[in-house]
Amino acid sequence: MRPPTQTLGAALALLVLCVAAPGLARAHEGTAGEAIVLPGSTARTPEEQVLAAQQAAAILTARPWEHQTAIAKAWAEPQRAFSELDLHPSVVVGTALFALVYALGVGPLRRRYALGPPATKAQIAWFGGSCLLLLVALDGPLHHLSDYYLLCAHMLQHMLLALIYAPMLLAGIPGWLLSPILRGPGLLRLGRLLTNPLVAYLLFTATLIGWHLPPAYELALRDHNWHIVQHLMFLVSAVLLWWPVLGPARELPRLSYLWQIGYLFVLQIPMFSLGALMALAEYPLYPFYSLAPRVVPGLDWLTDQQYAGLLMWLPGHLVLWLPMGILFFRWFASQRDDATGLEPARRGAR
């Protein structure tokens, strides 16, 4: 029986929205009317007084009001930087809702409408792992450190979302689960445009570089609503970026093996450039972090910034070289009819 497009489309649209849900409406906890304790009460030397004044200015210019409270509380209690769970109900609920929609899609809806073969154990494991990774990245100590103290923690968070979470998510979604939503008017054409390798690459590169420009990055740190927008743009552009390599829908095909390798190789260029700029800069690119209390002995703002650049520069490349190596051996072992080996990548069960 052919599934009704409206019913399945609505369910799958909800699944897509749930990808973004963990990043939505994550205003930090704060009670209206709660007093904000500004730095400065323990400042003794002129240098400490100047720093306290700059910290107070950063807190008072933050938006919305709840974010002011959260920054002030975090900077007043740096000893809790690594123990603060910093759980956000919207992240937990959003991830749970995402998992529920996935379970309905691969379970009751698949059986009722004969959508396709059962999801494999590997697909379910990849999807479950992506949900856990989303919770780790957007909740807990890593999120707390990245929001208030360490640029290198923030860089690690972004790398997890863009280079690990996105491919895990795509590896966990059966292609037939997306087919009904692609039948909507104009959606297949839009999908083909957005997953075009050149378009996907340019969108991700523009998002990556644009949000790491100092004014944009500072805006995200000081205005929590823009921070949400930043994370959503990273998530969406990262999923589009990985589609030519791991896209599950037959309607939106992948590149062939050799082109996938070249595609991932070229992706290193903006990451290398940005990481090198960050690691070699001798002034604070993002003043917010230069004002934050030091929570790791010996890790001043300059070393923190250098570590952040090195994280993008070296481990970021290693993350890309792993799938490049796997793709090379798959190409080498595949049957080829010509010298180039540019045959469609095998997808297996979808």
* Domain regions of the chain by residue span: 8-26+42-333
Alpha-carbon gap, residue 143 to 154, rounded angstroms: 8
Alpha-carbon gap, residue 35 to 65, rounded angstroms: 11
Q: How many CB atoms lie within 10 A of CB 272?
A: 15
Considering the chain, what is the average pLDDT of its residues?
A: 86
Is residue 78 within 8 A of residue 39, CB to CB? The reply is no
For the cut 70, the answer to whether the pLDDT of residue 84 exceeds it is yes
Alpha-carbon gap, residue 286 to 283, rounded angstroms: 9
Query: Confidence band (pLDDT; 50, 70, 90) for 191?
Result: very high
Q: Which of 104-113, 154-163, 307-316 shows the lowest mean pLDDT across its residues?
A: 307-316
Contact residues for 333 (Cβ-Cβ < 8 A; gap 6+): none
Geometric angle at alpha carbon 54, from 51 and 56, rounded to 5°: 110
Query: Confidence band (pLDDT; 50, 70, 90) for 2?
Result: very low
H/E element holding 214?
A: helix 214-222
Taking alpha carbons only, the member of 301, 263, 305 closest to residue 280 is 305
For 134-187, how does the pLDDT look when each residue is reduced to its tens digit (9 = 90+)?
999 999 999 999 999 999 999 999 999 999 999 999 999 999 999 998 988 899
Share of the chain above pLDDT 70, in %: 84
